[in-house]
Amino acid sequence: MRKIKQSIICFIILFLGLSSLPPTTYAAGVSAHSAILIEQKSGRVLYEKNADAISRIASITKIMTAILAIESGKIDQTTTVSSRAVGVEGSSIYLIEGEKIKLKDLVYGLMMRSGNDAAVAIAEMVGGSEEGFVYLMNQKANEIGMTNTTFQNPHGLDDHENHRSTAYDMAILMRYAMNNKTFREISGTKVYRTAHPEEKWDRVWKNKNKLLTSLYAYCTGGKTGYTKLAKRTLVTTATKNGMDLIAVTINAPSDWNDHISMYEEAFDNYKMTSLAPKGELKGIEDSFYKKKLEIKRDVIYPLTKDEQETIKLKTILIKPQKEWKEGKPVPSVVGELQVTQDGESIGNIPIYFHNEQKKEEGFFTKVKNLFFVYPGAR
């Protein structure tokens, strides 16, 4: 089930990731009821504990609210704050009814100060209503493979019984969101300043994520959460020595320590290992394919020192067709590079054919088009 889920999400987020190997069980002291640690580029699960347990998630919900706001294309537009947004309970950035504020500022207030008022204001602007926005949240969750998630509000308050997710699904969401440059910038901001509509002084927001602001030098962002029923929830990201990690904990009495422990164990035991470089595929003996094949991205995977010795690469190619040799077009994808670790598949990377003949004919094709593209013209 884990590998099926990861295959789905890799395709959905528009690049071919590598599927998970059995996760390490090193972090036995993690306090969280549910926890997971994944590597960002590959999606490999490095540690998990009850990662598929369906739970209340509190304000880590706002990761979905933020990415939908950013993807709406309205990030620099202004909205008018409603009475419904101002009246929402819980954590707040103290919006004023009727004030005009940029969506971008709302997203900063949402992620840094966990403003429930900001969440509703975003929902009304992007979705037309809070209910309309919730529809978009569940639609996006379905698109990116969050199969055990149901959103019922944009902030994570306990007022809806079935507003729930899993540590694994929230890791999928954070992995998706971290591919967005604007989201990464907002998630990793320690202090943000914006004008106050009724005062001479600015609103100044300090990020609630203590890993980012003071506790862990390698933390690059994240989102905190807490309600009475969900308890402490936390999603964070960290980077060290070229390895980007995502940690999720749900119902974790010692969440800061949980995340640091998981990160440190992974950074100590895993290394981002280059398995095949982007560009021309070497070692091809077939005369038709020789020097004409490439992969379009570096194949990099987190591995322990022992695992590095068990990696094998195998090139599988379509047999060259007679008509290709006679000049007919060759398909762009002609095979795959199969990657296995200790006999278990961890990825299949497309192999592309680059047709030199097309490049040589490029100029003549352009000239030909000048005369023949409009055969009926006078």
Asked if 110 and 116 touch (Cβ cutoff 8 Å), the reply is no
For residue 263, the model assigns a pLDDT of 98
Average confidence (pLDDT) over 265-278: 96
Tell me the mean pLDDT in the region 42-71.
98
Token output for 116: 């429930």
Segment among 2-6, 81-85, 103-107, 206-210 with least mean pLDDT = 2-6
Please tell me the predicted confidence (pLDDT) of residue 160: 87
Out of 7, 19, 59, 82, the active site residue is 59
**Model pLDDT, residue 356:** 57
- pLDDT for 335: 96
3-state secondary structure of 299: strand
Q: pLDDT by residue (tens digit) across 126-175? A: 999 999 999 999 999 999 999 999 999 999 999 888 999 999 999 999 99
**Residue 293 bridge partners (DSSP):** 353
Catalytic residue status for 62: yes
Determine whether 114 is an active site residue: yes
Bridge pairing between strands 45-49 and 219-227: unpaired
Residue 92 and residue 134 in contact, taking contact as beta carbons nearer than 8 Å = no
Task: Report DSSP state, residue 212.
Answer: I
Check the CA dihedral 91-93-97-101 and report its sign: negative
Out of 62, 140, 208, 223, pick the active-site residue.
62
Of residues 9, 112, 118, 129, the one with CA closest to residue 65 = 118
Tell me how far the alpha carbon of residue 11 is from its chain's centroid: 12
322 annotated active-site: no
Lowest average pLDDT, out of 99-103, 198-202, 369-373, goes to: 369-373
* pLDDT tops 60 at residue 374: no
- Per-residue pLDDT at 56: 98
**Quick one: how many helices (H) and strands (E) in the chain?**
14, 16
Residue type (1 letter), 35: A
**Residue 327's pLDDT is what?**
86
pLDDT tens, residue by residue, 304-360: 999 999 999 999 999 999 999 888 999 999 999 999 999 999 889 999 998 654 444
Span of 15-19, 190-194, 323-327 with lowest mean pLDDT? 15-19
Q: What is the average pLDDT score of the chain?
A: 89
* Angle subtended at Cα 300 by Cα 296 and Cα 306, rounded to the nearest 5 degrees: 150
Please state, in angstroms and rounded to a whole number, the distance separating the CA atoms of residues 224 and 113.
9
pLDDT: which is higher, 325 or 32: 32
Estimate the crossing angle of helix 130-143 against helix 62-71, to 10 degrees: 90
Query: What pLDDT shows up at residue 28?
Result: 58
Please identify which of the residues 55, 91, 114, 165 carries the catalytic annotation. 114
Task: With beta carbons less than 8 A apart as the criterion, state whether 248 and 234 touch.
Answer: yes
Residue with tokens 């094949």: 293
Q: Which residue has the tokens 């560009």?
A: 279
Confidence of residue 238 (pLDDT cuts 50, 70, 90): very high
Please, are residues 211 and 190 in contact by the beta-carbon 8 Å criterion?
no
The more confident residue out of 209 and 16 is 209
| DSSP H stretches of helix in the chain | 2-12, 62-71, 83-86, 103-113, 116-127, 130-143, 167-177, 181-187, 210, 255-269, 305-308, 322-325, 356-360, 362-372
Mean pLDDT for 2-20 is 40
